[in-house]
Amino acid sequence: MPNIIELADSTLQSTRPLFEIVGIEPSAYEDPLNIMISILLQVVTPDADGEKLTHDMLLEIFQSIEGIFVKGASCKQPTALMTSIVSNSVVFFLRLLTSAQIRAELEKGLRIAKAAESARAPAGSTKASKSPSLLKPSFTSCTHP
């Protein structure tokens, strides 16, 4: 049985196909996804000093304007090798994921409604469907922290 971190990592990794299905470009979600995975792994993977991220460190990261995001850096003394606005990246990723899930479910529902409408239509009917069209926003130019 996989441990909770492996399960969480696998769940995060499995979001990629959903983004692709609804047309969200990898450039929009890869960085925030990698930040989420890195934070997750830093909770269980010791750094060079043998330290892991603690509850207090995570709280500090998420409450600071600029969270420390340094894979392999010391948890005791985070460095500025790589900084990112971690809290904003996490919020951005979760909003993007929610949007993708809603869009996927909406598209699925519209397909089901269209199929039901077609099944009810009399044979030989050429009546046009009045199903609303989905707006397909482009995330190719989306910027994130």
pTM over 0.85: no
Q: What is the pLDDT of residues 69-110, one digit of tens each?
A: 444 444 444 433 334 467 788 889 999 999 999 999 988 888
Q: Which residues, other chains included, contact 13 with Cβ-Cβ below 8 Å and sequence gap of 6+? A: 37
pLDDT at site 25:
93
Mean pLDDT of 110-116: 85
Mean pLDDT of 14-37: 92
Encoding tokens for residue 124?
């030989």
Amino acid identity, position 15: T
Strand partners, 68: 83
Q: Is the dihedral of CA 119, 120, 123, 129 positive or negative?
A: negative
Q: What is the DSSP letter of 71?
A: T
Encoding tokens for residue 51?
């330290």
